[in-house]
């Protein structure tokens, strides 16, 4: 496998009027399991096509192991792609489907046989080797597609474009586990595209979050959760996502509508900021405390082993996650506090929503 790099990549489908992706500088190290995560239309598929060679970027370079392959065809790059819908030869049996990419390259039959049987074993396809693909279900067909992606030993990277979309929910878990297992056994460079954070965060060690054509942050699942580099990342990752508020820097703190968040910063007084805090870090009490603000519980919802609260004060609306056994009900008044060490500050939307590293707790 190989290291894949995008350098200053941008792509416009309309001759430069609008850009589907821009300012992309990303590296996928050899053998890393990665994901590209973002909402529909953010440019994930465009990036995958640029990596595989199906699309030549309007600007920038694609490097594989340091070599500029921007002008090379998909075949020359040896990048395998697995799509949403399984790509199989319906009338061929599973063995011949898996053998196809090897025979196509003139690999000798002994090696074809070795590789096909090894891949079939890993993907639990051995019992089906003699069966025609058209007699199998969607999950098995997608396993054949994956097998075709990894069967060649000269593959540089395997790209997965929402490969579990059409798979039944109970089979998804199994296939995702298989993919993870494949990665661990073969040490493949894998890039997995999805709009589903659960899929991305369980599969990948390194996740790139995209929005509106930009790569906002590349980090481990844990870092995306605790240190989101942009408000969108905080909001998109997590269930529910990070609470975000518009605020103004004032003497000894930040004013969020009626709530004075006592937090010493070296930010310029009067400047606008965005304040982020994850629902699970918000403190909620039935008792009043100095510096906490009053809010009404507008809704409660059990989520797994926690209780999600929707809260509204006179001026703020937010979500908090508290232990399941908290005896709180809709209509009750509670008191709310944002622990200083859990508050994240970003520049205002008009200044690009960049993470501000200047906060000092008081």
41 binds ligand ATP (CB under 6 A): yes
Residue 240: cis peptide before it, omega within 30 degrees of 0: yes
Near ligand ATP by CB under 6 A: residue from 9, 22, 26, 43:
43
To ligand ATP, the closest distance from the beta carbon of 221 in angstroms equals 20
Coil, helix or strand at residue 217: strand
Coil, helix or strand at residue 305: coil
Instruction: Tell me how many residues contact ligand ATP (CB under 6 A).
Output: 11
Q: In angstroms, how far is CA 62 from the centroid of its own chain?
A: 21
Contact segment (CB under 6 A) with ligand ATP among 39-47, 105-113, 179-187, 239-247 equals 39-47
Asked if 156 and 64 touch (Cβ cutoff 8 Å), the reply is yes
Contact segment (CB under 6 A) with ligand ATP among 36-44, 116-124, 174-182, 300-308 equals 36-44
45 binds ligand ATP (CB under 6 A): yes
To ligand ATP, the closest distance from the beta carbon of 3 in angstroms equals 23
Contact segment (CB under 6 A) with ligand ATP among 35-43, 86-94, 222-230, 257-265 equals 35-43
17 binds ligand ATP (CB under 6 A): no
The 8-class DSSP code of residue 268 comes to: P
Tokens 């060490």 belong to residue: 341
- Sign of the torsion formed by the C-alpha atoms of 207, 213, 215 and 216: negative
The string of DSSP codes covering 69-88 is -TTS-HHHHTEEEE-SS---
CA distances from 335 to 255, 312, 328 (A): 17, 11, 12
16 binds ligand ATP (CB under 6 A): no
Near ligand ATP by CB under 6 A: residue from 46, 78, 156, 217:
46
The 8-class DSSP code of residue 132 comes to: B
22 binds ligand ATP (CB under 6 A): no
Nearest to 180 by CA among 307, 285, 32: 32
Contact segment (CB under 6 A) with ligand ATP among 24-32, 40-48, 145-153, 294-302 equals 40-48
Nearer to ligand ATP, 41 or 291 (CB): 41
Nearer to ligand ATP, 43 or 163 (CB): 43
To ligand ATP, the closest distance from the beta carbon of 167 in angstroms equals 16
To ligand ATP, the closest distance from the beta carbon of 315 in angstroms equals 35
Residues constituting the chain:
362
81 binds ligand ATP (CB under 6 A): no
Distance from C-alpha of 282 to C-alpha of 338, rounded to nearest angstrom? 5
305 binds ligand ATP (CB under 6 A): no
Contact segment (CB under 6 A) with ligand ATP among 33-41, 242-250, 326-334, 348-356 equals 33-41
52 binds ligand ATP (CB under 6 A): no
Dmax (CA) for the chain in angstroms is 77
Taking CB under 6 A as the criterion, which residues in 194-213 touch ligand ATP?
Answer: 195
Name residue 301's beta-bridge partners: 308
**Element containing residue 334 per DSSP (H, E):** strand 333-337
First to last CA, the chain: 50
Helical H runs in the chain?
Answer: 44-52, 74-77, 94-103, 109-122, 138-150, 169-186, 197-203, 221-226, 231-236
To ligand ATP, the closest distance from the beta carbon of 346 in angstroms equals 23
Contact segment (CB under 6 A) with ligand ATP among 34-42, 141-149, 292-300, 333-341 equals 34-42
Nearer to ligand ATP, 36 or 99 (CB): 36
Binding residues for ligand ATP, rule: CB under 6 A, are 13, 20, 38, 40-46, 195
């Amino acid at each position: 496998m190989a290291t894949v790099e995008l350098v200053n990549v941008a792509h416009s489908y309309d001759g430069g009027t609008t850009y589907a992706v821009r300012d992309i500088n990303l590296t996928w190290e050899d053998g890393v399991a990665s994901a590209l995560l973002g909402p529909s239309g953010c440019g994930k598929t465009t990036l995958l096509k640029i990596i595989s060679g199906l699309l030549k970027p309007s600007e920038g370079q694609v490097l594989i192991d340091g070599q500029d392959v921007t002008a090379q065809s998909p075949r020359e790059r040896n990048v395998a792609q697995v799509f949403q819908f399984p790509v199989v030869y319906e009338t061929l049996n599973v063995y011949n489907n898996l053998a196809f990419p090897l025979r196509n390259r003139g690999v000798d039959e002994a090696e074809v046989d070795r590789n096909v049987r090894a891949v079939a074993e890993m993907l639990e396809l051995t019992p089906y080797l003699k069966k025609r693909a058209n007699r199998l279900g969607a999950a098995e067909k997608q396993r054949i597609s994956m097998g075709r992606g990894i069967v060649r030993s000269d593959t540089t990277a395997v790209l997965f474009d929402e490969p579990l979309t059409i798979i039944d929910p109970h089979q998804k878990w199994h296939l995702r586990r298989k993919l993870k297992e494949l990665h661990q056994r073969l040490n493949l460079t894998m890039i997995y595209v999805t709009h589903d954070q659960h899929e991305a965060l369980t599969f990948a060690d390194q996740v790139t979050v995209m929005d509106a054509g930009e790569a906002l942050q590349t980090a481990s699942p844990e870092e995306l959760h605790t240190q989101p580099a942009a408000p969108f990342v905080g909001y998109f990752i997590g269930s529910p996502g990070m609470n975000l508020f518009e605020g103004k820097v004032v003497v000894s703190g930040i004013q969020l509508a009626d709530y004075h968040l006592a937090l010493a910063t070296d930010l310029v007084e009067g400047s606008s900021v965005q304040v982020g805090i994850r629902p699970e870090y918000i403190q909620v009490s039935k008792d009043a405390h100095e510096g906490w603000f009053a809010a009404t519980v507008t809704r409660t919802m059990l989520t797994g082993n926690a209780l999600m609260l929707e809260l509204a004060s006179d001026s703020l609306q937010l979500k908090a996650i508290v232990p399941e056994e908290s005896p709180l009900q809709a209509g009750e008044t509670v008191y709310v506090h944002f622990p200083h060490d859990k508050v994240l500050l970003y520049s205002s939307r008009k200044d690009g929503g960049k993470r501000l590293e200047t906060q000092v707790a008081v």
